[in-house]
Chain A
């Protein structure tokens, strides 16, 4: 099912009295396409969970509208929206067994929607098989691992065959190894069911690895909506560029003069079509090419060998941070005896941003 958010806004009264309201979600305009896995990505406290709650109906927006297909559901109570929701802490009922937990939503159906007993059992079994916990049906949540509880929570959300599935930080309570495994699982379940799925995360790697579409949020405002790779290679502003990618992008303050980008006194890159101005420059770690004749000179601090790759840790006065990280193939030899190191930089891994608005400045070439 397609979900459309129009001018969606949620304000909360500030906890400290006298302070202005907190705008958790600020004029969202977005269409969530049918059948896709959508990652809602942003740092903690940016309003992602609130956005999710507005879709589920647990929160009522201050302004704006929520549409399911063509229907305006803005004021429809959560009870009637038929969404599946998985909580960060799973919210499994501790006094019920796995089977009872999964069957719980079906017990809510009334009137002619009410299902016969066999049908309930069949659906519960089906959902349990889908998430591969059909062996543990008579356990209590407290007798299961975090990953298993997570699966039960997903099964419980899926059993009523929701038109949209919402997951709030689904992987954050799992350990690193389980997280990798479970996110693949999530992808598989979404593919198999074809349910439009929105999941909230602060982990950019998680969002990048399984989403069809990523929404990047900051302080209640949507920054960018794009395919995962595009968000990385084509960030619309400095925030998105910084938020995505590990290791983090290197940021410098530079100047554009006569179509050339200056970092410090050196002209490091040709940027045709950009008028003379001050800029922020973002260079991805993999955007450096080691070269004896490179245009960009930095102070060499140390070299970290990491098998396939080599990290060159350098410093530059124009950089925002004390160290700059460049990742190059380990086939390159870095002369560690020298005090400086020279690079060329790849134009398609280098981004210019306005100093005021931090918006991206395109350049040809």
Chain B
């Protein structure tokens, strides 16, 4: 008698499981499509010819005659290569400079004893709460007064500081057992050598994560470059794309715009596809957008 009831329950459970699986996969796929569609659309549009794009009142989901013409005009009609170069210089210099600043600071906080350490560290931490919007005004004035508008230095200097990464790195340094430091001291290793030869190699995963996150941030930065540059020769890709959108190509050349969009999105997407595990782990450890 129970058996009958059990059989019914079993069947219902199986049915429910199938239904909920199906619904779950359907919804997950739906969101995946929503994420991917803009990417598909920009690639698709970028290979449509100017003529055929404008002739499509109803946009087509494919194109019979893909063309790379738009990519050529993206590089010739607007100084896209220049934007690219600027961004690479900006990203490399900012990230490099930041590492030079944060590594010794994190080392000092994690390994050295000095008077006022806790106070200074607390002050550092409280700076994490300060929104960029609050300090950007004076920075704009400072850089302008120093005559550093439209220079790499003006772009780079205010973007170097990052309290959060000092904090992240300090936490990581502290996990390295103190015995290693003592052993190195006994062997007569200098602090600087110890930092270079022992701590940095051990902390490599964290350092790589920080570098990747900073590169993403630099590559996508828009606000500061917009404020500090009005000479096209110093535009970064974000500003370049905005410039293209508002004045570029002389006419509404959407396929060429999309080609430019594809080109500037590609580097980060490639980095992401290579390092996606690292990036996601790094971000979930405390990164935020922007």
A70 to B6, CA, bound (A): 12
Q: Is the CB of A75 within 8 A of B3?
A: no
* Chain B 211-251 per-residue mask, 1 if CB under 8 angstroms from chain A, else 0: 00000000000000000000000000000000000000000
Would A80 and B3 count as touching, CB distance under 8 A? no
The answer to whether B128 has its CB under 8 Å from any CB of chain A is no
A-B contact list, 9 entries, CB within 8 Å: A70-B2, A71-B3, A72-B3, A73-B6, A76-B10, A77-B10, A77-B13, A79-B13, A80-B13
User: Is there a chain A Cβ closer than 8 Å to B9's Cβ?
Assistant: yes
Residues of A near B2 (CB, < 8 A) are: 69-71
Min CB distance A70 to B, Å, is 7
Residues of B with C-beta under 8 A to A77: 9-10, 13
Q: Which of chain A's residues 65-95 have a Cβ closer than 8 Å to chain B?
A: 69-73, 75-77, 79-80
A80 vs B6: C-alpha distance when bound (angstroms): 8
> CB-CB < 8 A to A75: which residues of B?
10, 14
Residue of B nearest to A78 (CB): B13
Which single residue of chain B is at the shortest CB-CB distance from A68?
Answer: B2
Which of under 10, 10 to 19, 20 to 34, or 35 or more describes the interface residues of A? 10 to 19
B6 adjacent to A71 (CB under 8 Å): yes
Q: Point out the residues of chain A lying under 8 angstroms from B3, CB to CB.
A: 70-72
Residues of B within 8 Å of A76, CB to CB, are 6, 9-10, 13
Partner-A contacts on B (CB < 8 A): 2-3, 6, 9-10, 13-14
Question: Inter-chain contact count A-B, CB under 8 Å?
Answer: 22
Closest to B14 in A: A75
- Residues on the A chain within 8 Å of B13, using CB: 76-77, 79-80
How far is B105's CA from A266's CA once the two chains are assembled, in angstroms?
77
Residue from the list A70, A72, A80 in contact with B9, Cβ < 8 A:
A80
Q: How far is the CA of A147 from the CA of B182 in the complex (A)?
A: 42
- CB neighbours (8 Å) of B6 from chain A are 71-73, 76, 80
Compute how far the CA of A76 lies from the CA of B5 in the bound complex, rounded to whole angstroms: 10
Least CB distance from A59 to B in Å reads 15
In the bound complex, how far is the Cα of B14 from the Cα of A76, in angstroms?
Answer: 10
Q: Which residue on chain B has the smallest CB distance to residue A70?
A: B3
Q: Mark A42-78, 1 if CB is under 8 A from B, else 0.
A: 0000000000000000000000000001111101110
* Complex Cα spacing A40 to B2, Å: 28
Cα A326 to Cα B2 in complex, Å, equals: 56
Q: How far is the CA of A69 from the CA of B2 in the complex (A)?
A: 10
B1 to chain A, nearest CB (A): 9
With the chains together, A69 CA to B10 CA distance in Å?
Answer: 18
- A69 neighbours in B (Cβ, 8 Å): 2
- Docked complex Cα distance between A75 and B10 (Å): 6
CA gap between A179 and B13 in the complex, in Å: 39
A73 contact set on B, CB distance < 8 A? 6
A289 to B9: give the CA distance in the assembly, Å.
62
A72-B3, A76-B6 given; name 10 further pairs at CB < 8 Å.
Answer: A70-B3, A71-B3, A71-B6, A72-B6, A73-B6, A75-B10, A76-B9, A77-B10, A80-B6, A80-B13
A342→B265 CA distance, assembly (Å) = 87
Q: How far does the Cβ of B66 sit from chain A's closest Cβ, in whole Å?
A: 39
The interface residues of chain A lying within 8 Å CB-to-CB of B14 are 75
Beta-carbon nearest neighbor of B1 in chain A:
A71
A70 to B2, CA, bound (A): 9
Q: CB-defined interface of A343-356 with B at 8 Å, one 1/0 digit per residue?
A: 00000000000000
- Quick one: closest B residue to A75, CB to CB? B10
Distance A80 CA – B38 CA, assembled complex (angstroms): 46
Q: How far is the CA of A166 from the CA of B2 in the complex (A)?
A: 22
A69 to B9, CA, bound (A): 18
B193 to chain A, nearest CB (A): 42
Residue of A at shortest CB range from B11? A75
Shortest A176–chain B CB gap in Å is: 32
Query: Inside 8 A of A72's CB, which chain B residues have their CB?
Result: 3, 6
Q: In the complex, how many angstroms separate the beta carbon of B288 from the nearest chain A beta carbon?
A: 27
Q: Give the distance in Å from the alpha carbon of A205 to the alpha carbon of B10 in the complex.
A: 40
Q: Which residues from chain B contact A70 at a C-beta distance below 8 Å?
A: 2-3
- A73: nearest residue on chain B (CB-CB)? B6
**Cα–Cα distance between A71 and B10 once the two chains are bound (Å):** 13
Closest to A79 in B: B13
Among residues of B, the one whose C-beta sits closest to the C-beta of A69 is B2
A71 to B5 alpha-carbon distance, docked (Å): 10
**Chain B residue nearest to A72 in the complex (CB):** B3
Q: How far is the CA of A71 from the CA of B7 in the complex (A)?
A: 10
B20 to nearest A CB, angstroms? 13
CA distance A289 to B6 in the complex (A): 59
CB distance from A68 to the nearest CB of B (A): 8
Q: Within the assembled complex, what's the spacing in Å between the Cα atoms of A72 and B3? A: 7
Residues from chain A with Cβ under 8 Å of B9 in the complex = 76-77, 80
Interface residues in A114-157 (C-beta closer than 8 Å to B): none
In the assembled complex, how far is the CB of residue A37 from the closest CB belonging to chain B, in whole angstroms? 25
Bound CA span A77–B15, Å: 12
Distance (Å) between the CB of A60 and the closest chain B CB? Answer: 11
A77→B20 CA distance, assembly (Å): 15
Q: For residue A71, which residues in chain B have a CB less than 8 angstroms away from its CB? A: 2-3, 6
- Output the least CB separation between A303 and chain B (Å): 44
Q: Name A81's closest neighbour in chain B (CB-CB).
A: B6
- A109 to chain B minimum Cβ distance, whole angstroms, is 15
Query: Please, how many angstroms separate the alpha-carbon atoms of A77 and B8 in the complex?
Result: 12
The 6 lowest CB-CB distance pairs between A and B, nearest first, are: A71-B2, A77-B13, A75-B10, A71-B3, A80-B9, A76-B6
